[in-house]
Amino acid sequence: MGRRETEKRLARGECERVYVARDADPRVVADVIRLATDAGVEIVWADTMRELGRACGIDVGASVAGLPRASSGADTNVEEE
């Protein structure tokens, strides 16, 4: 799941934390940042998309990743780029 699913989960209050890569295109991550801020969800910054992708266990960069609340029963969301 990518950025759009993370945005949906933020809007539904299903994210505990979001991770955003500092080198991601600001237009790509702006809505995630706004939704997280409005919902009071912690934003953790990764230095690079490559670093965030590796942390998520994928072989490509990731602009955002959402950590779902334990009660939502969902996997971590990752926006690959």
Fold that domain 3-69 belongs to in CATH: 60s Ribosomal Protein L30; Chain: A; (3.30.1330)
Does residue 76 register a pLDDT over 60? no
User: What are 80's strand-pairing partners?
Assistant: 62
pLDDT in tens, 26-70: 999 999 999 999 999 999 999 999 999 999 899 999 999 999 988
List the chain domain ranges. 3-69
Counting beta carbons within 10 angstroms of the beta carbon of residue 40, is it exposed (0 to 12), middle (13 to 18) or buried (19 or more)?
A: exposed
